[in-house]
Amino acid sequence: MADKGNNTLKVTLVRSIHGRLKNHQACVRGLGLRRMHHTVTVADTPENRGMINRVAYLLQVEEA
């Protein structure tokens, strides 16, 4: 398994969580996002990838 040497992701909330499913809201909060256009850096782990995949339609993701 090759290591990319890049193990963080920059995640930005670009759509509102109002009116979304409760578990989608929980995933956004679990990633540490608090408001629109808030950006956080998270570790590239399977757990974080799973939350990102579930709410990908609300997020913009970049490798950091």
Beta strands 39-43 and 59-63 are unpaired
Distance, CA of 53 to CA of 51 (rounded, Å): 5
Question: What are the chain's domains?
Answer: 8-63 (3.30.1390.20)
Residue 34 phi, psi (nearest 5): -110, -30
Quote the pLDDT of residue 64: 86
pLDDT in tens, 24-52: 999 999 999 999 999 999 999 999 999 99
Residue 2 phi, psi (nearest 5): -85, 135
Model confidence band, residue 1 (pLDDT cutoffs 50, 70, 90): very low
Cβ(46)–Cβ(5) below 8 Å: no
Quote the pLDDT of residue 24: 98
Quote the pLDDT of residue 5: 64
- pLDDT over 90 at 62, yes or no: yes
